[in-house]
Amino acid sequence: MEETSREAVATAVQRVAGMLQRSDQLDKVEQYRRRESRKKASVEARLKAAIQSQLDGVRTGLTQLHSALLDVKDIQNSLADVSKDWRQSINTIESLKDVKDAVVQHSQLASAVENLKNIFSVPEIVAETQQLIEQGELLQAHRKLMELECSRDDLMYEQYRMDSKNTSDMSLISIYFEDVQGLSDELAKQLWMVLQRSMVTVRRDPTMLVSVVRIIEREEKIDRRMVDRKKQTAFIPPGRPKRWKDKMFEVLEGTVSTRIEGTQAVTREADKMWLVRLLEITRKYVLDDLIVVKNLMVQCFPPHYNTFNRFFSLYHNAVSSRVNELAAEDLEANEIVSLLTWVLNTYKSVEMMGHPELCSECDINQLEPLLPQDVVDDLLNKYVKTFTSNITGWLRKALETDKKDWLKDTEPEADQDGYYQTTLPAIVFQMFEQNLQVAAQIDGNFKEQVLKLCLKQMNSFLMRYREEVVAYKEEHIRDRQLPQCYVQYMIAIINNCQTFKESINSLKRKYSQSSEPTDSDAAIERMLNEVAKEGCQFLLDEVFLDLEEMTSEALRRVVVEYIKAVMQKRITFKNADERKEGAERMIKEAHQFKFLFRKLAAGEDTDRLCGAIAAIAEVFKLTDPTLLFLEVPTLVSKYPDIREEHIQALLAVRGDASREMRQMIIGTLSENKVSYSGVTQPIFKEITVPTITMTTMTTMTSMATAKLLK
């Protein structure tokens, strides 16, 4: 306490020192003193108020504690009195046991009296109830059934209250009312039959369905009452709770499932479009049934049943189970597409669950997928594999058909502009178009996948196409007479390349969301260019082959006409110089022919044809006539088709061979006649020479020098 006082004094000293630091502050000492006095008075007043408040609270607490003590003493005295009274009443309670038993017996007798009429008329009521069930009067039958069950249950309950261990009396009651359970089961069967035909019943006689629902609701109330009594008394009548409401929903679920499962009327063996028909029937049944539920059946059930949503879920689950069963079957490619298109698109469209009459009652976006994603992926992968196999076969078959057209004797078809073409591009891209249209119905990403697959298959197809075109050309080279329309079909093949390009670009514009080129695009472009380029080269080869045939024929014609001119002109050489000059000129012209025609064509007959002129020139060039016996046979051996008249004409042109010499040369040739096999194309066979008589020979000898080589 002293330390506190010292601290207070020190604090006050510091505060006063702070107030009086300057001399001018001494004039305000009195003012400071009054202000501090006011503060002190204020603090003292607050302290007094606080202390007074605490004192009042303590005084009030003491008063309440005193009152509580008095109350505790009063309660203690009262409890003592109650304990005393309870001890005194024990004997009285034991003496009331007989009264209690009498009350229970009275209750049983009262229940028996109340149900006495029903007890004696049980067989009659059972018969009436059975008749009402058979007549379809379900509400009245149920009312009778409730009377019977109420009588039985009340008797059993009273017996249970009196002696729960007396099973013999319970059995006696059960035996007496044993037909009641049979009636209940029979009535239940009728209820389930009505529910199974609910879609038909609600259209023809909705009151029947309403009666069924009312009966089930009654039974639900009885079930709840019996279950509550069981909690209190541990007694529950036989057959309770019936749970007919749960059974009703089970029956409705089974009815929906049966209706969905029963839509398959045909099989794949009987109709290839079986799946399309099945899905369409399912769509129609589900839509019609849900519209009936919305417009008619909802009114037959209590609002708290949430009838439409319940049926909507039942149909969704039934359809989901059915399509999962279908997905597990060995479906073909077109069937996979039909199923996935229906599942992913048709199901939630306005044609089915998204129908305007239904969408106001439910949110289709909240529906679970009909097929799990892994099942969808498996079906898509299976379709891709099947499609790949099928399209390979389709393309091969299309190419084989086109190859058969290449061998026709008629020209290929022409487009509106007159350009040759075949049906191959149209067939190929019609197949692609059909499959892409189908893929587009399923999913955008899947459409892109199928397009890439088509382009990949197109690249492989073009490789085979190129091989077949090369083989077509090589086969034609073996016999250029066949096929007759080779050039026209080769032109059509070249035109097809442009059609393929245009068709591919059209497909990409229509079915691809990306404009970026792919590896397949570059490969296809390159392959089409190669096919078109090779086709043009094959046509050029054909032109050059035709030119080579024409050149060979021209050379042969020139040589034949040249030799014919030599043999048919009536000229003779006068002397050796003229013969030498003429022979050298013939040899020179033969070399010129050879040089010219070798540049135009590389035929094997060029040397032989031009050699015939040179060989004749050698006959003319000889200075010694006796050497003709050697030179003429050499000429004949090289050209076996030369005849005697040709030799006669050549000797006549030479002009220095005597008659005897000509006869000897002809005779020698006759004796050593060279056989002509006909393998080598003849030259002299087409040259005709006039018959030369002696007069002619004399005339020819006297003529001037020939103009043969001018």
Instruction: Give the whole-angstrom CA distance, residue 431 versus residue 393.
Output: 12
High-pLDDT (> 90) share of the chain, %: 28
Nearest alpha-carbon partner for 707 in 558, 585, 556: 585
Residues pairing with 705 in the sheet? 572
Give the confidence band of 406 by pLDDT, cuts at 50, 70, 90. Answer: very high
Which of 262-266, 349-353, 562-566, 685-689 bottoms out in mean pLDDT, i.e. has the lowest? 262-266
- Amino acid 641 reads D
Q: What is the pLDDT of residues 231-254, one digit of tens each?
A: 888 888 888 899 999 999 999 999
Pick the CATH number of 374-516 from 1.20.140.10, 1.10.3720.10, 1.10.357.50, 1.10.238.10: 1.10.357.50
Q: Record the tokens describing residue 242, joined without a space.
A: 């019936």
pLDDT at 703: 32
Which of 76-80, 329-333, 377-381, 568-572 bottoms out in mean pLDDT, i.e. has the lowest? 568-572
Give the confidence band of 93 by pLDDT, cuts at 50, 70, 90. Answer: low
| Residue length of the chain | 710
User: Is the pLDDT at 493 greater than 90, yes or no?
Assistant: yes
Q: Record the tokens describing residue 388, joined without a space.
A: 């790949």
Contact 174, 124 (CB under 8 A): no
User: Is the pLDDT at 32 greater than 80, yes or no?
Assistant: no
* Start-to-end Cα distance in the chain: 167
Establish whether the linkage from the previous residue to 241 is cis, with ω within 30° of 0.
Answer: yes
What is the rounded average pLDDT of the residues 24-42? Answer: 77
C-alpha 303 chain-centroid distance: 43
Instruction: Give the whole-angstrom CA distance, residue 116 versus residue 95.
Output: 33
- Which of the pair, 673 or 204, is modelled with greater confidence? 204
pTM recorded for the entire structure: 0.58
3-state secondary structure of 165: coil
Give the confidence band of 637 by pLDDT, cuts at 50, 70, 90. Answer: confident
Residues pairing with 414 in the sheet? 420
Give the confidence band of 1 by pLDDT, cuts at 50, 70, 90. Answer: low
What is the rounded average pLDDT of the residues 572-589? Answer: 85
∠281-282-283 over CA atoms, to 5°? Answer: 90
User: Is the pLDDT at 701 greater than 50, yes or no?
Assistant: no
pLDDT at 682: 79
pLDDT at 320: 93
pLDDT at 704: 30
- Which of the pair, 705 or 297, is modelled with greater confidence? 297
C-alpha 86 chain-centroid distance: 88
pLDDT at 426: 92
pLDDT at 693: 43
Q: What is the pLDDT of residues 605-633, one digit of tens each?
A: 788 888 888 888 888 888 888 888 888 88
Which of 473-477, 536-540, 583-587, 653-657 bottoms out in mean pLDDT, i.e. has the lowest? 653-657
Give me the half-sphere count of Cα atoms (radius 13 Å) on the Cβ side of residue 92.
Answer: 5
- Tracing tokens 């058969």 back to the chain, one arrives at 404
- Tracing tokens 């006050």 back to the chain, one arrives at 12
User: Is the pLDDT at 103 greater than 90, yes or no?
Assistant: no
Q: How far is CA 322 from CA 251, 257, 278, 280, 371, in A?
A: 18, 8, 11, 13, 10
| DSSP letters for 599-643 | HH---TTHHHHHHHHHHHHHHHH-SSGGGHHHHHHHHHHH-TT--
Q: Where are the domains of the chain?
A: 1-20+30-116, 136-262, 374-516, 548-671
Instruction: Give the whole-angstrom CA distance, residue 399 versus residue 396.
Output: 5
Is the four-CA dihedral 90, 92, 94, 99 of positive or negative sign? negative
What is the rounded average pLDDT of the residues 195-201? Answer: 90
Q: Record the tokens describing residue 63, joined without a space.
A: 């008063």
Averaged pLDDT of the chain: 83
- Which of the pair, 682 or 145, is modelled with greater confidence? 145
